[in-house]
Amino acid sequence: MASVISVNISEKKGEQKHPVPEIRLKLRHGIVGDAHAGDWHRQISLLAEESVDTMRANCPIPLDSGVFAENINTRGIDLKSLSVGTHLRVGETEVEVTQIGKECHSDCAIKRAVGKCVMPTEGIFAVVVKEGTVRARDEIEVLA
């Protein structure tokens, strides 16, 4: 069973995201209270905990949830194998995958420390299709 490991936000752009008890997803907006919310194609970022675990094995610094600027850490789902247009049920919400990976906006602290960042190749982005709340331990289901 695929599930949510952590939900993370940052109140200001340029700050590392930090875990919160829950996030509220809003149509045409993304995550209420997150600096990257807005009516655009990258409202929410997801990253597999398995990808973070791979980085942890060779990293001299702690890699807490949100360190790669991801909003949702997952376990048990191969995010990078999903196609654009795939719908996911995440807890009581539904999101649509809009982008796989992204160009790194500059040498981030993680990339400088360990020479690699997984978000550009293994992170995915989505928009809100159905509003609601997401918490750690919520189930994730691929819908279509």
> What is the average pLDDT across 10-14?
88
Supply the pLDDT for residue 121: 87
Q: Is the pLDDT assigned to residue 120 strictly greater than 90?
A: no
Look at the domain 2-142 and name its fold.
M1 Pyruvate Kinase; Domain 3 (2.40.33)
pLDDT digits (tens, 9 = 90+) for 31-50: 999 999 999 999 999 999 99
Where are the extended beta strands (E) located within the chain? 2-9, 18-20, 22-26, 30-31, 44-48, 72-75, 87-90, 93-100, 124-130, 132-135, 139-142
Delimit the domains of the chain by residue range.
2-142
Q: pLDDT for 56-114, tens place per residue?
A: 887 777 888 988 889 999 999 999 999 999 999 999 999 999 999 877 656 666 666 65
Reduce the DSSP state of residue 13 to 3 states and report it: coil
